[in-house]
Chains A and B, each alone.
Chain A
Amino acid sequence: MVDEKKLREKAKEVLAREDVRRLIGWKRGTYGYESAPAVLKDASEADELIFDPTCVQNPASFITLEEKLPVPRGQDPDTRKVAVLVKGCDSRAVVQQLVEKAYDRDSVIVLGVPCTGVVDRRKAAKMFGDTSEPVLIKEEGDKFVFTIDGETREGSKAELLADKCVRCRFPNPLIYDELVADEVAVWGADEFADVDEFAKMSPPEKWKFWEEQFSKCIRCYSCRNVCPMCYCLECVVTKQKPQWTRRSTDVSENTAYHIQRAWHLSGRCIECGECERVCPVDIPITTLNRKMTRDVKEMFSYEPGVDVEAEPLLSCYNPQDPEEYIM
Chain B
Amino acid sequence: MMDESNPYLPYIVNIEDAWYETPVGDRAVKTFKVNFQDEKVWDTWSHKPGNCAMVGRLGIGESMFCISSSPTEEGYLRFSIMQAGKVTSALHDLEAGDTMTVRGPLGNSFPMEEWEGKNIVSIGGGIGQAPLRPVINYVRANKDKYGTLSVLYGARTSDLHCFKSEFQEYQEEGTECHLAIDIEEEGWKNFVGFVPDLLLDVAPSAENTIAVTCGPPILIKFVTQGLEKLGFTADQIYTTLEERMKCGIGKCGRCNVGSLYVCKDGPVFSYATLKEIPEAFA
Contact = CB atoms under 8 A, between A and B. Distances in A.
A240 B88 CA distance: 13
A240 B86 CA distance: 8
Interface string A42-60: 0000000000000000000
Interface in A201-251: 240-241
Interface string B73-86: 00000000000011
Nearest to A240: B86
A241 B86 CA distance: 6
Interface residues of A, number: 2
A240 B85 CA distance: 9
Interface size class of B (residues with CB under 8 A): under 10
A241 B85 CA distance: 8
B6 to A, nearest CB: 20
A281 to B, nearest CB: 23
A240 B246 CA distance: 14
A240 B244 CA distance: 14
Interface in A240-293: 240-241
Interface in B37-88: 85-86
Nearest to B89: A241
Nearest to A242: B86
A301 to B, nearest CB: 44
Contacts of B85: 240-241
Nearest to B61: A240
Contacts of A240: 85-86
A241 B61 CA distance: 12
Interface string B94-130: 0000000000000000000000000000000000000
Interface string B179-213: 00000000000000000000000000000000000
A203 to B, nearest CB: 35
Contacts of A241: 85-86
A73 to B, nearest CB: 13
B23 to A, nearest CB: 23
A136 to B, nearest CB: 40
A154 to B, nearest CB: 47
A44 to B, nearest CB: 29
B218 to A, nearest CB: 13
A76 B200 CA distance: 33
Nearest to A243: B86
A241 B89 CA distance: 11
Contacts of B86: 240-241
A123 B86 CA distance: 47
Nearest to B86: A241
A22 to B, nearest CB: 24
A241 B84 CA distance: 11
A302 to B, nearest CB: 39
A247 B31 CA distance: 31
A3 B168 CA distance: 80
A307 to B, nearest CB: 43
B20 to A, nearest CB: 22
A241 B88 CA distance: 12
A6 B86 CA distance: 55
Nearest to A241: B86
B90 to A, nearest CB: 11
A117 to B, nearest CB: 42
B86 to A, nearest CB: 5
B281 to A, nearest CB: 15
A309 B7 CA distance: 59
Interface in A35-80: none
4 contacts: A240-B85, A240-B86, A241-B85, A241-B86
The 4 closest A-B pairs by CB, nearest first: A241-B86, A240-B86, A241-B85, A240-B85
